[in-house]
């Protein structure tokens, strides 16, 4: 008997399974994916929801900045890098929302294409959405926004459209389902709540463990 059958048989025997129609309940739950309790905190009108996202992001040591449109992105990125004394170079994937901006308007800024190889000081991604309840960004893998850009650079800069800032995680999950199809997921879905940190040395919280030391969010209102 394979390990699979042995384990499943033991589970069935212990549960005394067989009695009644158990499969219908399971199929129904998997099909309908009922929502549980959604905390009231994030259930706000548009403007307040974005403000809550900013407040929650600040609590976890992210920084935020509002931009009127994607067109402002190159200048804002260049200015962030200057303010941190970083080289004028940014890593990013092929997301048309990022690539549509006029990067040539910043001639001193080098734009590096594709996934990160670990040599980048700063990376730029476009988030799929955000969660106001916890100040969380949601990104998914693919050529538009390679996952390595989320973790290898010291500074992670993330763009999110104000209209994609949801109140709660469940709303973002529903949007993911709409985008990829029921039961289908991208290889990686990253929910990111602040820069990387560790408290493993004497429970003292320090930023910049293995991932980025800084997380800066551009909220595009246009």
Partner 1 sequence: MQITSPSFKKNSVQALSDAQLQKALGNVRAGFIDKRTKAVDALPEFDALRDNGKAIKDHTLAHLDLYLEAYEEQVKKAGGHVHWAQTAEDARNIILDLCKTRGVKTVTKGKSMISEEIALNDALEEAGVRPVETDLGEYIIQLRGEHPSHIIAPAVHLNKEQIEADFRRVHTHLPADRKLVEHEKLLTEARAVLRAEYFKADLGITGANFLVAETGSSIIVTNEGNGDLTQILPRVHVVIASIEKVVPTLEDAAQILRLLARSATGQEMSVYTTVSTGGRRESDPDGPDEYHVVLLDNGRSSMLGTEFQEMLRCIRCGACMNHCPVYHAVGGHAYGWVYPGPMGAVLTPSLIGVDKGGHLPNASTFCGRCESVCPMRIPLPKMMRHWREREFERGLNPAVARYGLKSWAFFARRPRLYRFFASFGIPALSMLGGAKRRFSWLPFAGGWTKYRELPAPEGRTFMQQWAQREALKQEVSS
**Region 63-92 residues binding partner 1, contact defined as CB under 8 A:** none
Q: Give the whole-angstrom CA distance, residue 182 versus residue 68.
A: 34
CB nearer partner 1, residue 17 or residue 51: 17
Binds partner 1 (CB under 8 A): choice among 71, 75, 162, 189: 189
Contact between 55 and partner 1 per CB under 8 A: no
Contact between 163 and partner 1 per CB under 8 A? no
Separation between Cα atoms, residue 212 and residue 86, nearest integer Å: 14
**Least distance from partner 1 to the Cβ atom of residue 37, Å:** 6
Rounded Cα distance between 91 and 156, Å, is 10
Complex with partner 1: residue 208 or 222, whichever CB lies closer: 208
Q: Among residues 194, 216, 218, 219, which is the contact residue for partner 1, using CB under 8 A?
A: 194
C-alpha 179 chain-centroid distance = 15
Q: Are strands 136-140 and 206-207 parallel, antiparallel or unpaired?
A: unpaired
Q: How far is CA 81 from the centre of its chain?
A: 22
Minimum Å distance from CB 68 to partner 1? Answer: 29
Determine if 96 is a binding residue for partner 1 (CB under 8 A): no
Query: Among the candidate windows 34-42, 80-88, 102-110, 157-165, which touches partner 1 by CB under 8 A?
Result: 34-42
Which 97-156 residues touch partner 1, going by CB under 8 A? 114-115, 118, 133-136, 141-143, 146-148, 150-152
Residues across the chain: 222
- Cα separation, 106 vs 214, in Å, equals 23
Round to whole Å and give the CA distance between 150 and 156: 6
Please give the Cα distance from 131 to 193 (Å, whole number).
9
Residue 179 interacting with partner 1 (CB under 8 A): no
C-beta closer to partner 1: residue 78 or 172 = 172
State the Cα–Cα distance between residues 215 and 158, nearest whole angstrom.
8
Stretch that binds partner 1, among 77-85, 104-112, 120-128, 209-217 (CB under 8 A): 209-217
């Amino acid at each position: 008997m394979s390990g699979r059958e042995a384990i499943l048989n033991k589970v069935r025997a212990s549960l005394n399974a067989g009695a009644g129609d158990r499969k219908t309940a399971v199929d129904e739950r998997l099909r309908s994916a009922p929502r549980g309790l959604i905390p009231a905190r994030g259930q706000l009108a548009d403007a307040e929801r974005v403000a809550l996202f900013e407040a929650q992001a600040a609590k976890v040591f992210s920084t935020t900045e509002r931009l009127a449109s994607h067109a402002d992105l190159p200048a804002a990125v260049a200015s962030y890098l200057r303010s941190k004394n970083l080289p004028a170079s940014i890593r990013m994937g092929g997301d048309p929302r990022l690539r549509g901006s006029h990067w040539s308007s910043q001639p001193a800024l080098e734009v590096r294409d594709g996934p990160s190889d670990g040599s980048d000081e700063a990376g730029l991604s476009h988030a799929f959405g955000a969660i106001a309840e916890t100040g969380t960004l949601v990104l998914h893998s693919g050529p538009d926004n390679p996952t390595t850009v989320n973790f290898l650079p010291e500074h992670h800069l993330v763009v999110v459209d104000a209209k994609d800032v949801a109140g709660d995680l469940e709303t973002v999950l529903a949007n993911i389902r709409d985008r990829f199809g029921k039961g289908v997921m991208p290889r990686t879905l990253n929910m990111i709540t602040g820069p990387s940190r560790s408290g493993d040395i004497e429970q003292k919280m320090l930023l910049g463990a293995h991932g980025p030391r800084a997380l800066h969010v551009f909220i595009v209102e246009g």
